[in-house]
Amino acid sequence: DTGVSQDPRHKITKRGQNVTFRCDPISEHNRLYWYRQTLGQGPEFLTYFQNEAQLEKSRLLSDRFSAERPKGSFSTLEIQRTEQGDSAMYLCASSFGLPGQDVFGSYEQYFGPGTRLTVT
């Protein structure tokens, strides 16, 4: 399967614990996004990487959240000191943008299956 993959698919954790999720984008895609989705809502943008550079973060993202994409391939999203309000589906998406073409928001994204986080 050459689509976007995410691991784990489900995570149950106790409040206060740290969790880390992994996303492997489509191999030739240089752009990677993280979103959070709660029931009855659309995905909410969290952060964006172009290759290994984190170019944008949502202002809503608390400092308990951090993301990395160290070699421009897979990415990790870590949540420290989890709270019950962090319970959601965390989605990763990737897209391809031509090198040197820096047009905002022009590219179609492909989503992974998501990691469902439950904080008890």
Partner 1 sequence: RKEVEQDPGPFNVPEGATVAFNCTYSNSASQSFFWYRQDCRKEPKLLMSVYSSGNEDGRFTAQLNRASQYISLLIRDSKLSDSATYLCVVNGPGTYKYIFGTGTRLKVLA
Residues engaged in binding partner 1 (CB under 8 A): 31, 33, 35, 40-45, 48, 50, 55-56, 58, 91, 104-114
The DSSP call for residue 109 is: -
Write a three-state SS string for 41-92.
CCCEEEEEEECCEEEEECCCCCCCEEEECCCCCCEEEEECCCCHHHCEEEEE
Provide the minimum distance between the beta carbon of 5 and partner 1 in the complex, in angstroms, as a whole number. Answer: 11
CB of 16 to partner 1, least distance (A): 27
CB closer to partner 1, 45 vs 74: 45
In the sheet with 5-7, reading across from the earlier edge strand, the strands are 5-7, 19-24, 75-79, 65-68
Nearer to partner 1 among residue 37 and residue 80 (C-beta): 37
What is the nearest approach in angstroms of partner 1 to the Cβ of residue 90?
A: 11
C-alpha distance across the termini of the chain, in Å: 33
Nearer to partner 1, 82 or 115 (CB): 115
Minimum CB–partner distance for residue 59 and partner 1 (Å): 10
